[in-house]
Amino acid sequence: MSAQAAREVPLSTLSPKYLHTNSTSHTSAFSAIAALIDNAYDPDVSAKQFWIDKTLIKDNLCLTFMDNGNGLDHETMQRMLSFGYSDKTAVEGHKPIGRYGNGFKSGSMRLGKDAIVFSRSKSGMCIGMLSQTYLEKIRAKQIQIPIVCIKERNSSGYILLNDNPSNICSAY
Ligand SMILES: Nc1ncnc2c1ncn2[C@@H]1O[C@H](COP(=O)(O)OP(=O)(O)OP(=O)(O)O)[C@@H](O)[C@H]1O
Ligand SMILES: [Mg+2]
């Protein structure tokens, strides 16, 4: 067998620059905001309320979007911050708007360079980050999405999980 034939089929990868490229599909900020509202409305989340606010953190203007729908665990947070994964189905006649697995990424990156997602679900709390600033600082060649999950509260505090949910890194 030749060396060429023995090579594995290469995976397509995503450059961090794609985060900005992808966001340009929103010609206005309003369609970007609509993408975030759609996500909260969709049947997998099914939020009853949605809040939009702005705040200053260390002199940086931040927009905050909050809903009271179903939250995310490590696996669903990873899918949320990845591209093209969407498996929304109708629930009791409530049809989903989302179908491409892209709206959060394009919408959030149209509104800012960095997004942090805080989520609480039955299984605990999860924080995920999609950050162009971070990727530029670490000179990333591909998009990396740090995720930290706090599983549950025990008598001595919270159990912190690192990127791999099966791997408890500290308890305090
Ligand atoms: N506010 C939210 N609360 C909980 N999960 C969310 C929220 N927003 C997004 N998600 C999850 O993240 C996933 C990705 O969202 P995204 O908007 O990128 O794709 P989509 O809604 O599936 O498809 P589309 O690109 O058509 O909007 C969703 O499928 C959903 O599971
Ligand atoms: Mg969506």
Greater pLDDT, 120 or 166: 120
Atom of ligand 1 nearest to the CA of 67: 1
pLDDT (tens digit per residue) in 77-112 = 999 999 999 999 999 999 999 999 999 999 999 999
Question: Residue 158: pLDDT above 90?
Answer: no
Give the confidence band of 123 by pLDDT, cuts at 50, 70, 90. confident
Residues with CB under 5 A from ligand 2 (ion): 39, 98, 103
User: Probe ligand 1: pick from 23, 26, 39, 95, max atoms within 8 Å of CB?
Assistant: 39
Distance CA 144, CA 46 (A): 28
Distance CA 135, CA 6 (A): 33
**Terminal C-alpha separation, the chain:** 55
User: Probe ligand 1: pick from 41, 68, 73, 86, max atoms within 8 Å of CB?
Assistant: 86
Question: What strand order describes the sheet that includes 147-154?
Answer: 114-121, 124-131, 147-154, 157-161, 168-171
114 alpha carbon – ligand 1 mean position (Å): 17
pLDDT confidence of residue 151: 80
Give me the mean pLDDT over the 16-41 stretch: 98
pLDDT (tens digit per residue) in 135-144 = 999 999 999 9
Contact 66, 45 (CB under 8 A): no
pLDDT confidence of residue 121: 84
pLDDT confidence of residue 166: 45
Residue owning the nearest CA to atom 19 of ligand 1: 101
| Average of per-residue pLDDT values in the chain | 90
- Ligand 1 neighbours, Cβ below 6 Å, are 35, 39-40, 44-45, 67, 69, 72, 76, 79-80, 86, 88, 98-105
Task: Give the 3-state DSSP-derived string for the chain, with helices as H, strands as E and coil as C.
Answer: CCHHHHCCCCCCCCCCCHHHHHHCCCCCHHHHHHHHHHHHHCCCCCCCCEEEEEEEECCEEEEEEEECCCCCCHHHHHHHCCCCCCCCCCECCECCCCCCCCHHHHHHHHHCCEEEEEEEECCEEEEEEEEHHHHHHCCCCCCCCCEEEEEEEECCEEEEECCCCCCEEEEC
Give the confidence band of 33 by pLDDT, cuts at 50, 70, 90. very high
Proximal ligand: closest to the CA of 79: 1
